[in-house]
Amino acid sequence: MDLSAVQPLLDWLSANQQWLAIAILLFAFFESLAIVGIVIPGVALLYGVAALAGKLEMNIWLVLGCGFIGAVLGDGISFLAGHHYHEQIKQRWPFNRYPTFIERGEAFFNKHGGKSIAIGRFVGPIRPVIPLVAGILNMPASRFLLINISSAVAWAPVYLLPGYVSGLLLQASFELPRSFYLGLVIIIIGIGAFCWLVSQTTHQLTADQRGYHWFAQHFAYKSWWQRFCSPRQQVSHSFPLADLLASLVCTILFISLFITITQDWWDDINQNLLSYFINLHQPLIDNAVIGITLLGDTQNILLLTVFAVCWLWFSQYRATAVYVGGCMIAAQLITWALKVSLAWPRPDVLIQLPSPYSFPSGHTTLLSTLALTISCLVATEQPVKKRWWIYFLGILPGCLVGFSRVYLGSHWFTDILAGLLLSIIITALARFFYTPHDKTSLHTNFALFVLLAGVLLISSAYVVFTFPEAQQLYLLK
């Protein structure tokens, strides 16, 4: 990124570091402010000050907090201006100089509704005018405030973390081995390919495809088939065949893993991966990975589950609330039972062991189950061909937390694999039994957005408050 235009300002901030936090807040504010964000090079400024903050090792939470506050204030003032002046603001300077941007913003808002506030934060030139347009078109202030705050939580790390990490890397002056990048690419491609395969298989098992028709011809007359068909007309009263087969396949894989886990080749894989990641430890990576692993803490999962169940229940999605709560209770009980009954020991590399037993990874199982459960709710309301990326986003948190557990020396690779398989089994089986009770589609424009925003806010707050203690918990011997 070319920073030559803003370099003099960055040089001044480097010499006057006491102004850096305020500068981050102001640049985030102006980047989000109506019209102003179009004129100033906001992205370059934010990247530059974030890189400087990383180079100076400024507290990351202070950096993100300043960016968050600035973004909320910028969008908030833009909304208030539109709400106060309405159509008259289009005739006032400087808004009358950019009528095209406002027209494009209105078209975008009319197309996407309230969620355009969240989407608009990340969409090119119209980004700073969407809140203004929302005010002009009389969007309820309470709804705008909720979306403004929750979307800013995601906006701050997306815009500030790349620069901050770049600054830290320049300061730390270390290089990761090439094998790390190769492994990362292979993992991402593998997860993407798996989700694509799942989506394609699901497509073949929908009611209008040949795969489904073959099963229907042989089993549709059975009472159990009819009992589990969906009552919703928009899914053609179909039988949840994909969920049933997914649970069966993953159960077979889980049993195969369980039977072969004592084999020497699994032990070699576990030991080699553990040794590789222990040798990879660096303070910068350690802190990032600890932040990721905290997302799977039982306390965080409990908070997220209670929020999700309560929100769905009081939004009149009672069956969905029971479905989500049932998935999480099952995941917790099954994980606990397997850990206690198998008593598989953890790697002995940490000063403090989180708990004595390892198989399967509770962090991976619980977070994957919650993420997959929510992603299934979202995917059900989307066309089949668009579901693969939703499944990808659903499995990604569990994979990231699983990676963090192996990296930190808290789990073996087989624990992570078991946790991922177990979460898919639980989610698919729960979805299968829930289908006959799934009578109402979720209004994705608002209910699901609030659900996802709440999950993001709660998780962010949990990581911030528990991070210092976690740094001591995951110290290597």
| Kind and range of the H or E run holding 58 | none
Torsion of CA 43, 49, 52, 58, to 10 degrees: -120
pLDDT tens per residue across span 436-459: 666 666 665 566 667 777 787 888
Angstrom CA distances, 266 to 161, 402, 472, stand at: 36, 17, 30
φ, ψ of residue 195 in degrees (nearest 5) = -65, -40
The alpha-helical segments, DSSP class H, found in 381-446 are 388-407, 413-434
pLDDT tens per residue across span 375-424: 888 777 776 666 667 777 788 888 889 888 888 888 888 889 899 999 99
CB 418 within 8 A of CB 257: yes
Torsion of CA 59, 367, 71, 73, to 10 degrees: -100
Average pLDDT, the chain: 76
At 366, is the pLDDT very low, low, confident or very high (cuts 50, 70, 90)? very high
Residue range 223-246: mean pLDDT, rounded: 61
Q: What is the 3-state secondary structure (H, E, C) of 351-375?
A: CCCCCCECCCCHHHHHHHHHHHHHH
> In this model, does residue 278 exceed pLDDT 90?
no
Highest mean pLDDT among 198-202, 280-284, 426-430: 426-430
Nearest-angstrom CA–CA distance, 377 and 438? 10
Nearest-angstrom CA–CA distance, 238 and 246? 16
Nearest alpha carbon to residue 36 among 94, 76, 81, 96 = 94
**Residues 379-387: contacts with CB within 8 Å, 24+ apart?**
380/235, 380/438, 380/441, 380/442, 381/441, 381/442, 381/444, 381/448, 384/199, 384/202, 384/203, 384/206, 385/199, 385/203, 387/199, 387/202
Look at residue 237 in the predicted model and tell me its pLDDT: 47
pLDDT tens per residue across span 37-59: 566 766 777 888 888 888 887 87
Residue 123 is classified by DSSP as S
At 1, is the pLDDT very low, low, confident or very high (cuts 50, 70, 90)? very low
Using a 10 angstrom Cβ sphere, with 0-12 exposed, 13-18 middle and 19 or more buried, the burial of residue 447 is middle
Query: Which residues pair with residue 476 across a beta bridge?
Result: 350
| Kind and range of the H or E run holding 345 | none
* pLDDT above 70 coverage of the chain, percent: 70
pTM of the complete model = 0.68
Residue range 291-298: mean pLDDT, rounded: 88
* Other CB atoms within 10 Å distance of the CB of residue 215: 15
**Angle (deg, nearest 10), helices 362-380 and 388-407:** 170
Look at residue 47 in the predicted model and tell me its pLDDT: 81
Angstrom CA distances, 27 to 6, 49, 292, 352, stand at: 12, 9, 27, 42
CB 401 within 8 A of CB 367: yes
pLDDT tens per residue across span 68-121: 888 888 888 888 877 776 666 666 666 666 667 677 777 777 776 666 777 777
Torsion of CA 426, 428, 434, 435, to 10 degrees: 180
Angstrom CA distances, 282 to 52, 288, 403, 405, 413, stand at: 20, 10, 15, 15, 20
Nearest alpha carbon to residue 450 among 124, 147, 58, 107 = 147
Helix, strand, or coil (residue 21): helix
b/e 227-254 (16+ beta carbons within 10 angstroms → b): ebbbeeeebeebbbbbbbbbbeebbebb
Nearest-angstrom CA–CA distance, 127 and 46? 15
